[in-house]
Amino acid sequence: MLTFVLKRIAYAAPVALGVSLVCFLLVHLAPGDPLSAILPVDATAEMQAQMRAAYGLDKPLPVQYGLWLWKVLQGDLGTSIATGRPVLSEVGRAVSNSLILASVATLIGFTFGTFFGFVAGYAQDSWLDRAASAIAVFGVSVPHYWLGIVLVIIFSATLGWLPPTGAGPQGSGNWWPDAEHLRYLVLPAITMSVIPMGVISRTVRALVGDILHQDFVQALRAKGLSEFGVFKHVVKNAAPTAIAIMGLQLGYLLGGSILIETVFAWPGTGFLLNAAIFQRDLPLLQGTILVLAMFFVTLNLLVDVVQTALDPRIQRA
């Protein structure tokens, strides 16, 4: 198992390198000069050249990439043009906020998704199945920013139970696990959980339906197992796929939640990306994307390892 994990990490290295290259090139592929955002409109050619040299933009591309990568490996993602603070600290804070939101949302989504999925899979074609499936289809198809706004209208504007935006009192940018901060987490987490709930529920329903029709389930009954005993076997058979889907969903939510984070002004990566794009803050954009991409690579690695540990049919070679 250990050699498998090490090998799998070794395979992830070239992927990570490729990702870093794409991130680096983003700056140069984007239309417009990266300097135009910080230079005054009437800057002289001399000033431009000076700035270009200061940011290292006058060197050939491969050299720039090498220098940039070397810095990145040392944990230096550059300085945000808009705020003048190091990108790493900005991204780090946003990532931790997003990670909390995405994990809680995935956990809620996974719990309800597997529950509805098992109910629907066991009771296929009954009204229970149709009800659970309807909830799942609602989850994958409802526009989540709209759902967020509706929830805010009901629970904040009308009932006044929960705060509508932010991660904590007085615009606190750092989420902290206490009762006050927890209240801020409820609405965005529920809004976000609807997507993985729907996806996981559909997947688990199909999985359970398929497993229940396999011969070995009949064989398990034939050896006298109780329905609960059979259920345990069904769970273990469904687990590898369900966990893989959960991991991928977590990855999507980490990076792809711009809309929800913007609706709730949640100071996470989506919110940060949004700000970086509109302010043409290229170092910040580059750093954020790189960190998110690395998250995806790591998450895929974790999913692979967990799946292999659970399903003996996956080769450990």
Q: What size, in residues, is the chain? A: 317
As given in the structure block, the two tokens for residue 114 are 């597997």
Read out DSSP for 110-151? HHHHHHHHHHHHHTTTSHHHHHHHHHHHHHHHS-HHHHHHHH
| Cβ(198)–Cβ(115) below 8 Å | no
CB of 219 to another protein, least distance (A): 4
Report, in angstroms and rounded to the nearest whole number, the Rg of the chain calculated over CA atoms. 24
User: Which residue, 14 or 224, has its beta carbon nearer to another protein?
Assistant: 224
Tell whether residue 111 is a contact of another protein (CB under 8 A).
no
User: What is the per-residue binding string for another protein in 232-261, x denoting contact by CB under 8 A?
Assistant: -x--xx--x---------------------
Tell whether residue 174 is a contact of another protein (CB under 8 A).
no
Q: Which stretch binds another protein (CB under 8 A): 157-165, 200-208, 226-234, 293-301?
A: 226-234
Tell whether residue 220 is a contact of another protein (CB under 8 A).
yes
Tell whether residue 216 is a contact of another protein (CB under 8 A).
yes
Q: How far is CA 293 from CA 6, 15, 198, 235, in A?
A: 20, 10, 24, 31
Tell whether residue 228 is a contact of another protein (CB under 8 A).
no
Residue among 78, 83, 66, 32 nearest 283 (CA):
78
Distance between CA atoms of residues 138 and 153, nearest Å? 19
User: Which residue, 85 or 221, has its beta carbon nearer to another protein?
Assistant: 221
User: Which residue, 220 or 263, has its beta carbon nearer to another protein?
Assistant: 220
CB of 230 to another protein, least distance (A): 10
Tell whether residue 153 is a contact of another protein (CB under 8 A).
no
Q: Which stretch binds another protein (CB under 8 A): 35-43, 45-53, 58-66, 212-220?
A: 212-220
Side chain identity at residue 78, one-letter code: G
As given in the structure block, the two tokens for residue 290 are 């790189």
CB of 266 to another protein, least distance (A): 39
| Cβ(19)–Cβ(293) below 8 Å | yes
Interacting residue ranges for another protein, rule: CB under 8 A:
214-216, 218-226, 229, 233, 236-237, 240, 310-313
